[in-house]
Amino acid sequence: MRRTEHTAGPDLDELQRTLHVELDPELLLLALTHRSFAYENGGIPTNERLEFLGDSILGQAVTVRLYRDHPDLDEGELAKRRASLVSSAALAEVGRAIGLGRHILLGRGETMTGGADKPSIIADTVEAIIGAVYLDRGGEAATELVMRFVEPLMQDPDRFGAAMDPKTSLQELAARRGASAPAYLVTESGPDHSKHFVATVTVDDLVSASGEGSSKKQAEMAAALEAWTLLSNP
């Protein structure tokens, strides 16, 4: 795989020790390669295909675990819990906990705008790593990694309530902190038949977060869940 020199590259050995998984270095490096870095380095491969694979593996592993652990829950409740565990906010929390941001290969623009701490970039890289583990170590190892990632989240009952109604949960959390009500700003782009919305929510100077979606409501809910996660785990 052709790459130009990158003096501040990721410490692959450290990351593998953190993940408790040994991976082919080139495959792990691919999992860490954001499209902004790939573009600036001659169009080398990105982690997006691995992200696509990892997303599927993550969803299956979490679904099976919830199904087995909660025989009393109906389909709707299981779906809500799964959504809370595989959301970008949850995966960003996982990635931050293992210091993933400092290992991601980013282009200069993303680096300058704080890309190493952007929830969407961290979450996508977590999924790419899951995909890399599946390819290199097999399905069992990938599932074990997913469970190590999400186990702490599954023990947090408040998370499931926030996932079901993130805007209300954020408003209640803000009130408990003595802060003003969350303020939302939504922008839209794209043609009428394929709109894309980006919402930003702020709670005084305590937290600011963003979310995306195909509707205003979806974007606001994604932003609220990310803000709730950040405010709950300062």
| Residues near 147 by beta carbon (within 8 Å), at least 6 away in sequence | 61, 65
What is the pLDDT, as a whole number, of residue 175?
A: 93
Phi/psi for 212 (5° steps) reads: -125, 160
Mean predicted confidence (pLDDT) in 176-185: 93
Q: What is the pLDDT of residues 109-142, one digit of tens each?
A: 888 888 888 888 999 999 999 999 999 999 999 9
26 is in an annotated binding site: no
What is the pLDDT, as a whole number, of residue 234?
A: 60
The answer to whether residue 127 is catalytic is yes
What is the pLDDT, as a whole number, of residue 190?
A: 83
Would you say the C-alpha torsion 17, 128, 199, 228 has a positive or negative sign? negative
pLDDT at 68 over 60: yes
Q: pTM for the whole thing?
A: 0.74
The answer to whether residue 55 is catalytic is yes
- Name the active-site residue from 22, 24, 26, 55: 55
What is the pLDDT, as a whole number, of residue 124?
A: 92
> Comparing C-alpha atoms, which of 34, 65, 233 is closest to residue 127?
34
- Name the active-site residue from 5, 22, 24, 127: 127
pLDDT at 164 over 80: no
Mean predicted confidence (pLDDT) in 180-206: 90
22 is in an annotated binding site: no
CA separation, residue 34 to residues 96, 123, 132, 190 (Å)? 16, 12, 14, 23
